[in-house]
């Protein structure tokens, strides 16, 4: 398993993660974008160039591009969940892994027994807080033998918190 800070600019930090087998073949590659956020002021905090320099993180002249994820106009299925205390991270927001668990939970046992995730694109827009009752939303498509599931976490009023697109392959 590897992780490396791959760059930064004024407001974003980039980190790559990887998993290789014993022969060095890449099994998983993750590219991520992060921000520092002042929870009290509810504002992004600029990157610290001195800190980045200490870790030899390069300043990027150009931002890496990620797929543009947008919520679907409608979803085929919705299921409501409750955010419990044990679901929270150290910032007292829903832990990232719970989003993915709620996405996968929508698909069902038969689908999951016969399919494997091949690609994940996810965008976290807003935090989900303790006591909220958000919806996990799903639309599953199979166009031209490409199996894709579109997901969102929405608040009780239908406002998007997170969107995700999963590409699947049959096992």
Residues 41 and 114 in one domain: no
Question: What is the number of residues in the chain?
Answer: 171
In the numeric block, the tokens 């998993």 are attached to 19
pLDDT of residue 39: 80
Residues 49 and 82 in one domain: no
pLDDT of residue 145: 85
Q: Is 68 inside any structural domain?
A: no
In the numeric block, the tokens 């909220």 are attached to 132
Q: Is 63 inside any structural domain?
A: no
DSSP 24-59: --EEEEEEEEE-EEETTTTEEE---HHHHHHTTPPB
Q: Is 66 inside any structural domain?
A: no
Residues 93 and 161 in one domain: yes
pLDDT of residue 82: 97
Per-residue pLDDT band for 37 (boundaries 50, 70, 90) equals confident
Other CB atoms within 10 A of residue 102 CB: 22
Per-residue pLDDT band for 143 (boundaries 50, 70, 90) equals confident
pLDDT of residue 38: 87
Q: Is 64 inside any structural domain?
A: no
Q: Is 72 inside any structural domain?
A: no
Render pLDDT for 62-82 as a digit per residue (tens, 0 to 9): 888 888 999 999 999 999 999
Burial of 18 (0-12, 13-18, 19+ CB in 10 A): middle
Q: Is 153 inside any structural domain?
A: yes
Can you give the residue range of the structural domain that contains 140? 77-170
Residues 24 and 98 in one domain: no
Q: CATH no. for residue 149?
A: 3.10.129.10
Q: Is 46 inside any structural domain?
A: yes
Residues 35 and 83 in one domain: no
Residues 116 and 162 in one domain: yes
By DSSP bridging, strand 77-80 and strand 43-45 are unpaired
Residues 110 and 146 in one domain: yes
Q: How many domains does the chain have?
A: 2
pLDDT of residue 91: 84
Q: What does pTM read for this prediction? A: 0.83
Residues 50 and 129 in one domain: no
């Amino acid at each position: 398993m590897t992780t490396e800070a791959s760059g930064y600019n004024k407001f974003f930090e980039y980190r790559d993660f990887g998993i290789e087998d014993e022969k060095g073949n890449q099994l998983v590659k993750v590219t991520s974008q992060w921000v520092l956020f002042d929870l009290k002021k509810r504002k992004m905090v600029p990157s610290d160039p001195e800190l980045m320099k200490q870790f030899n993180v390069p300043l990027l002249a150009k931002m890496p591009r990620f797929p543009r994820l947008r919520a679907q106009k409608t979803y085929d299925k919705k299921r409501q969940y409750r955010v419990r205390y044990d679901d929270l991270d150290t910032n007292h927001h829903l832990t990232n892994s719970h989003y993915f668990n709620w996405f996968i939970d929508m698909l069902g046992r038969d689908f999951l027994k016969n399919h494997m995730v091949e690609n994940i694109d996810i965008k976290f827009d807003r935090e989900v807080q303790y006591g909220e009752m958000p919806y996990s939303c799903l639309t599953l498509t199979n166009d031209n033998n490409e199996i894709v599931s579109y997901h969102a976490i929405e608040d009780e009023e239908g406002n998007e918190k997170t969107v995700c697109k999963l590409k699947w392959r049959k096992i």
